[in-house]
Amino acid sequence: MFTGFRRILFGDPLPTASEEEQRLTKLKALAVFSSDALSSVAYATEEILLVLVMAGTAYLSLSVPVALAITTLAVIVAISYYQTVHGYPSGGGAYVVAEENLGKWPGLVAAAALLIGYVLTVSVSIAAGVEAVTSAIPALFPYRVELCLAATALIMWANLRGIKESGTVFAIPTYGFILILLALIAAGVFRVATGSLAPVSTEAAPQSGGAQPVMPFLLLRTFASGCAALTGIEAISNGVPAFKKPEARNAGITLIAMAVLLGIMFLGITFLASSLGIAPTGGETVVSQIGRHVFGSGPPYLFLQAATALILVLAANTSFVSFPRLSAILAQSRYLPNQLTSLGDRLVFNNGIFALALSSAVLIVIFGGDTHQLVPLYAVGVFLSFTLSQTGMVRHWCRKGQRGWQWKALINGVGAAATGLVTIIVLVANFLRGAWIVALLIPAFVWMFQAIKRYYSSVARQLSLEDLEPREWMDVSDCRSHKIVVPISGMHQGTLAALHFARSMSTDVTAVIVDVEPERTTRVREKWPVWGHGLPLVALESPYRSVIRPLLSYLKKVDQRDPERGLAVVVLPEFVPPHWWNHLFHNQTAILFKAILTYQRGKTGKGRVVINVPYHLERR
């Protein structure tokens, strides 16, 4: 029915066997998996300056040392993850590593932190991308939320088409962003060094001479805000199986390339902002201010903004690759609903993609598409998962005892200690500004995982054949032994079809009519001798005009007769009108009745069988 429309939107269905062909080259993988990490350059510096400027413009020069500390952290985390990629070529990231090495509970905590992090990545990236656009075109500022939602829908659509095409779609903007940003930094640093570029305002320029008292908590909050730069650095380790063979080696090389690019770009932008004395303003982003100052307002500046917006909006794509993958892994372990495991006909996990898009859209609406409000929620989950993952890796190397395991364990141990410390810093520094939400959500998710698992286990136990004796099930009674009840509302062709089928199933068939309209009952009685198949007809009284209650009490009576023959089987005549909305013109009592019947069960626990005999109406 919708096949044609679906194909145009999502492409032809792909057979299961072609899964292998959908792998990514290193160049495409860098585009798909690094957009999140690299694009955070667009807002991380700004978050640092935002904290400093509140303490006073004189503190702005602290941004460079803070950025250096964060870059050092990035190097530690990247080296740690390089080892993860080689230790776990099958992917799964923090969840798999924590679960296998630390046990169920740390695994579930990591999974919760990751899922929440993915949702926030989409919201933050899209909000920041839209801010890049509104910096260049202030007239669009009032439509931020609408633009965010449109971008979310667009990325969802790209991902429903499948991962390989995503690689192609996203490579150009990612590389465009890398090139223009490196050009901006090169031009800016050269002109600052040669003295041909003056600061934006002398007032805000760094005062190298005047020593200022530095408050420790200010530094911690600045550091915590800047840590947003590291989000997304783990994406590659989750997605190793999406690389072409040899997966681990290719993924490792891509990870190093990404970390180097990230460091250069983050330090470069922070240095320029500091040198040019740029402070965050309400309407224009810091990168936009730098760009305008270095490039002027011509085509290079516009290209910078366009590339920033695109990579940010596309950064959300990292999550659209990882979230459905992790959901499917969790669902396979029965921690999430089963539907998340099924591949769509374009070989992507449709349900996970929908769930992610919906959650992110909700966050965007709640926080009005404002990056500064979303960022404080962001780092807690991300660094918690880093910590669990690195700790798991330490355990992994200790257990395996390969050659050089001590070095490997030490490297991951340093990573775990560093990220663990940062987790505490970002939680404390941002607690009141939103991190508490995440601190509540993570245990809530873990509880939900457990509840879902418990439900599925209970279902599996109840369905199990283990304690059953095959012989007693094989004992098939004669078909004519079913007690059949056919509720009718009049004597017409629809009724005839149902009676005919019931008659063919058993010799014990009773037709019943609820006497709500005496005239109708009389008409049925008159026609019964000719059309009643010789079956008994019972009219049920209904002083309160309810159709369902008299039927239910009649069924109860039939059930109690010869209970060893089981519950009475109900044969329901059903109209099938030519259009779905024609159902409005028919009483929907049958639907409610059927729902009630479905929930009824006999003393042995067996349910009541309901047989639908459709009668098709045409458009005439």
How near is the Cβ of 309 to a copy of itself at its closest, in Å? 36
CB of 584 to a copy of itself, least distance (A): 6
Helical H segments across 401-516, by residue range: 405-430, 436-463, 470-474, 493-505
8 A C-beta contact, residue 269 and residue 187: no
Q: Does 616 bind a copy of itself (CB under 8 A)?
A: yes
Q: Which two tokens stand for residue 444?
A: 């809530």
The number of angstroms, rounded, from the C-alpha of 460 to the middle of its chain's C-alpha atoms is: 26
Q: Is 13 in the site for a copy of itself (CB under 8 A)?
A: yes
Q: Rounded to 5 degrees, what angle do the CA atoms 42, 43, 45 make?
A: 100
Instruction: Please pick, from the candidates 17, 139, 211, 432, the single residue that binds a copy of itself as defined by CB under 8 A.
Output: 17
Query: How far, in Å, CA of 211 to CA of 52, rounded?
Result: 15
Q: Which of 175, 303, 405, 615 binds a copy of itself (CB under 8 A)?
A: 615
Among 145, 220, 264, 609, interactor with a copy of itself by CB under 8 A: 609
What's the CA gap between 316 and 231, in Å, rounded? Answer: 12
- Smallest gap from residue 235 Cβ to a copy of itself (A): 27
Binding of a copy of itself at residue 2 (CB under 8 A)?
A: no
**Closest separation between CB of residue 18 and a copy of itself, Å?**
9
Q: Which residue has the tokens 């470069």?
A: 268
Q: Is 553 in the site for a copy of itself (CB under 8 A)?
A: no
555-584 residues in contact with a copy of itself (CB under 8 A) are 574-577, 582, 584
**Between 399 and 616, CB nearer to a copy of itself:** 616
Q: Which of residues 311-370 bind a copy of itself (CB under 8 A)?
A: 337-339, 342-345
The residue ranges of DSSP E strands in 481-592, in sequence order, are 483-488, 508-515, 537-541, 569-576
Minimum distance, C-beta of residue 493 to a copy of itself, in the bound complex (Å): 5
Residue tagged 């439900």 (tokens): 455
Q: Segment 512-531, which members bind a copy of itself (CB under 8 A)? A: 527, 530-531
Residues 165-204 that bind a copy of itself (CB under 8 A): none
Residues 566, 602 contacting (CB under 8 angstroms) = yes
Residue 510 lies near a copy of itself (rule: CB under 8 A): no
- Token reading at 218: 């200010």
Closest C-alpha to 282, from 487, 134, 118:
134
- How many other β-carbons are positioned within 10 Å of the β-carbon of residue 13? 12
- Asked if residue 476 binds a copy of itself (CB under 8 A), the reply is yes
Residue 532, Cα to own-chain centre: how many angstroms? 57
Residue 227, amino acid:
C
Q: Which residue of 6, 104, 191, 492 would you call a contact of a copy of itself, by CB under 8 A?
A: 492
| Gap between the Cα atoms of 79 and 82, Å rounded | 5
Distance, CA of 486 to CA of 514 (rounded, Å): 11
Asked if 387 and 363 count as a contact pair (C-beta separation under 8 A), the reply is: no
Q: Which of 463, 519, 560, 564 binds a copy of itself (CB under 8 A)?
A: 463
Interaction between residue 470 and a copy of itself (CB under 8 A)? yes
Position 455 contacts a copy of itself (CB under 8 A): yes
Q: How far is the CB of 28 from a copy of itself (least distance, A)?
A: 25
Closest to a copy of itself by CB, 396 vs 608, is 608
Contact between 497 and a copy of itself per CB under 8 A: yes
The reply to whether 11 sits near a copy of itself by the rule CB under 8 A is no
